[in-house]
Amino acid sequence: MTRTIPVGLVVAVCLCGCTSDPLAYDSTRELREQVIRTQKAHLAGNPSTEPHQVEQKQSDSYLYEGETKQSRIEQLDAISGQKLYGKASLDTSTGLDGEPSPTAAMSLEQITRLAVRHNVPIQQARLLPAISEAEVVSAEATFDAVFFTDLSYGITDRPQQATSFSGTQFGSNARVSDNGSLNTGIRKRLTSGGQVTVSSGFDYTNDKSPRLSYSPDPATTPNILVGIQQPLLRNFGTKANLAEVRLNRNANRRDLLTLHAQLLSTMGEVEQSYWQLYLSRYQLAVQQRLFDLTKETRDKVYLRYKTFDATPVQMSQAQSFVELRKVDVLRARRAVRSASDALKAKLYDPQLPLSEETMIVPLDEPVQVPLKYNLVDAVTTALQNRPEIRAALLEIDDASIRTALADNQRLPMLNLSAQAQFQSIDGHTDHAFRKLADGDYINYLVGLQFEAPIGNRAAEAAFREARLGRKVAVLRYQQSVQDIVLGVKEALRDLDMTWRLIGVNRDARRAAAENLRVLQERDKEGEAQTPEFLLDLMLNAQQRLANAELQELQSIVEYNVALLRLQQETGTLLEHNNIKVDWPEGMFDDDK
């Protein structure tokens, strides 16, 4: 078949984009562009790009011979199927509080919006980006300027040896002084790895030592210092010093992708629960009608038992059918309430608390329209939108950052330090500071510090580990692509199958309805009905019709679930449900 051609092409595209050496890519953007270039090359000139639509085959039933087909179909649809139960009144009995339960009729759009607003897992996922965003700010704050001030004051009074010559003492036997210092400035770390410091301050000395005198005394020595410390090899450059910032930014984007994935997952669960509730209510309606029809047949058998030819055994058999139908009704009622609670449990809506017995009533009908699709387009959309793909690319980017950092750490340490200090001295503080402008006293200092571990085995091992980690990340990306391609194909197969099943089960339901209709016509015409006729034909025909009706709606619901799954697999479920999220700018870029 022609539509199998794109399957091989897409798989080849996904594999070819990742089979070369993963360490050859310098960024996640290059990896994505390589996959896209390979895809375009493989799909160039491919004729199988038209949308495909599954058609339901017409039944080859002989039931419509000699009559207008459409009129008979309308007749059978009037006595069976969805139209018959569309406005059926359901007896859901009483709730756990012993009272009739109130109902809340809601559309699928209302349900999904309530889930987005109140669902607890979604609320939890919303907090993660805020936490990681704070970690990004914390990592960036290491490069903020720091204001510092050092202030000290001390009093010295200590004995010391005095200098003497030929018995004559020079100097003092004690050192007595008041000393103070103030140093204030700004220190800033650079993204190149260095640090710049600019400071200003002064030292104050008032010497009171006996038999000693200084000039000036007291003295103020102000200073201005400008210094820089800069690594030249190891820890040099933005790749090494901004690694933590970039990793935290990727963590923030990953948390946003987790929120995106949680939205897709929760919306899928909520919509599936919505259709399950719809199916459960339909099942109850079918079981109620089957129960009523079985009671009518039982009453006819009972009448023949009283007046004609039915035996006690046949009468008890008819009654057993009624009891069995009653069991099915009870189970169906429980299923309706359980399905309603399961849906409420996913909403967390304070207006519909799970502790109350309010029952949700679906307003929307399941879709019964064939979908046109193209496999290549579906896979391409999935690769562009799925959060798992973007998360895998972020993992590659993280590994690339760690690889670059580990490569830098293999270099020897060579650090440069340089500073210039301007000083002056005077007995008056204001005069001392004015003298700084003269530049009479300037100190310069330049230094180099070198260090290289012999063998450098630890750094080399860390670099090999980082390179292998990046290769693992690329292989995980390849696996993610493979899994998504498989998921899209399986969703499309389910779509094909369930749409075909709708047609087959609809024909089966109409055939069962025709069987029951003929038997009912025989009853209206007054044809003698034996207990065997009622028990073997009528009851079985009623059961077959009920089963066929359930099978038909089951396939309709499965088709809607298949549509839902395809939207999940392609990452378009939020857009389909008109849910708009204000994602941060650049969130979906492949390389940040």
Measured CA to CA, the distance from residue 417 to residue 231 in angstroms comes to: 9
Task: Tell me the pLDDT band of 431, cut-offs 50, 70 and 90.
Answer: confident
Classify residue 388: in a domain, yes or no.
yes
534 and 440: one domain?
no
Pairing of strands 372-373, 413-423: unpaired
Rounded-to-integer distance, Cα 222 and Cα 186, Å: 17
| Highest-pLDDT range among 7-16, 46-55, 367-376, 408-417 | 408-417
Tens-digit pLDDT profile for residues 233-257: 999 999 999 999 999 999 999 999 9
Nearest to 54 by CA among 495, 491, 516, 505: 495
pTM for this prediction: 0.82
Instruction: Say which amino acid occupies 369.
Output: V
- What residues pair up with 203 in beta bridges, in sequence order? 181, 221
| Model pLDDT, residue 451 | 94
CA 44 distance to own-chain centroid: 34
Of 475 and 8, which is predicted with more confidence? 475
Average pLDDT of 560-585? 89
Give the range among 57-66, 162-171, 501-510 with minimum mean pLDDT.
57-66
Instruction: Evaluate the CA torsion angle 295, 297, 300, 304 in order and state its sign.
Output: negative
* DSSP output for 317-377: HHHHHHHHHHHHHHHHHHHHHHHHHHHHHHH--TTS-TTS--EEEE-PPPP--PPEE-HHH
Give the pLDDT score at 281: 94
Q: Which of the listed ranges 22-36, 83-97, 508-522 does the model predict with the highest average pLDDT?
A: 508-522
Q: How many C-beta atoms lie closer than 10 Å to residue 131's C-beta?
A: 11
Query: How many C-beta neighbours within 10 Å does residue 311 have?
Result: 12
Q: Identify whether 55 is part of a domain.
A: no
Residue 389 CB coordination number (10 Å) = 22
DSSP string, 383-408: HHH-HHHHHHHHHHHHHHHHHHHHHH
Query: Has residue 542 been placed in a domain?
Result: yes
Question: Is residue 528 located within the same domain as residue 561?
Answer: yes
509 and 548: one domain?
yes
Look up residue 154 and give its two tokens.
Answer: 């001390």
Q: Are 499 and 430 in a shared domain? A: no
Q: Would residue 312 count as lying in a domain?
A: yes
- Is it the case that residue 160 has pLDDT exceeding 90? no
Here the CATH number for the domain that contains residue 276 is 1.20.1600.10
Same domain, residue pair 211 and 258: no
The pLDDT of 433-449, averaged and rounded, is: 90
Q: Look at residue 21 and tell me whether its pLDDT is greater than 50.
A: no
Which domain-ending residue is among 423, 451, 479? Answer: 451
Is residue 590 in some structural domain? no
Write the DSSP symbol of residue 94: B
For the chain, what is the domain count?
2
Q: Please report whether residue 496 resides in a domain.
A: yes
Q: Stretch 572-584: mean pLDDT, rounded?
A: 85
Angstrom distance (rounded) from CA 318 to CA 332: 21
* Residue 100 reports pLDDT greater than 80: yes
**Three-state SS string across 572-587, please?**
CHHHHCCCCCCCCCCC
Q: Are 201 and 213 in contact (CB under 8 A)?
A: no
What percent of the chain is predicted at pLDDT more than 70? Answer: 85
How far apart (Å, rounded) are the C-alpha atoms in residues 329 and 335? 10
Say yes or no: 528 and 422 in one domain.
no
List, in order, residues 6 or more apart from 227 with CB less than 8 Å away.
196, 197, 198, 417, 418, 419, 420
Instruction: Please tell me the predicted confidence (pLDDT) of residue 419.
Output: 95
Same domain membership, residue 355 and residue 387: yes
**pLDDT of 52:** 66
Write out the residue range of the structural domain in which residue 423 sits: 145-189+194-234+414-451
pLDDT band at 29 (very low <50, low <70, confident <90, very high): low
Q: Which residue has the higher pLDDT, 363 or 432?
A: 363
Which pLDDT band holds residue 258 (cuts at 50, 70, 90)?
Answer: very high
| Residue 208 binned pLDDT confidence (cut-offs 50, 70, 90) | confident
Same structural domain, 350 and 445? no
Question: Quick check: 227 pLDDT over 90?
Answer: yes
Q: What is the pLDDT of residue 590?
A: 52
Same domain, residue pair 537 and 484? yes
352 with 441, same domain? no
Q: How would you classify the pairing of strands 219-231 and 168-170?
A: unpaired
Find the mean pLDDT for residues 461-488. 93
Residue 485 to residue 490: CA distance in whole angstroms: 9
Q: Is the pLDDT assigned to residue 66 strictly greater than 70? A: no
What are 341-396's pLDDT values in tens digits?
Answer: 999 999 999 999 999 999 999 999 999 988 888 888 888 889 888 999 889 999 99
Question: pLDDT tens across 68-99, in order?
Answer: 677 888 888 888 888 888 777 888 888 888 88
Q: Is residue 587 part of a domain?
A: no
Model confidence pLDDT, tens digit, residues 536-563: 788 888 999 999 999 999 999 999 999 9
Q: Helix (H, G, I), strand (E, B), or coil: what is residue 68?
A: coil
Using alpha carbons, select from 314, 326, 343, 305 the residue that is nearest to residue 119: 343
Give the pLDDT confidence score for residue 13 in this predicted structure: 34
Backbone angles phi, psi at 249, to 5 degrees: -65, -40
Under the banding of pLDDT at 50, 70 and 90, the label for residue 125 is very high
Q: Is residue 56 part of a domain?
A: no
Q: Which of 129-143, 296-310, 372-386 has the lowest mean pLDDT?
A: 296-310
Report the residue count for the chain: 592
Distance (Å, whole) CA 573 – CA 254: 19
In the numeric block, the tokens 């939108």 are attached to 385
1 pLDDT higher than 50 = no
Burial class (CB in 10 A: 0-12, 13-18, 19+), 15: middle
Looking at the fold, whether 309 and 419 belong to one and the same domain comes out as no
d(CA 324, CA 507): 27
Could you tell me if 183 and 131 lie in one domain? no
Q: Cα Rg for the chain, rounded, in angstroms? A: 42
Which of 387, 422, 451 represents a domain boundary (last residue)? Answer: 451
- Identify residue 500 by its one-letter amino acid code: R
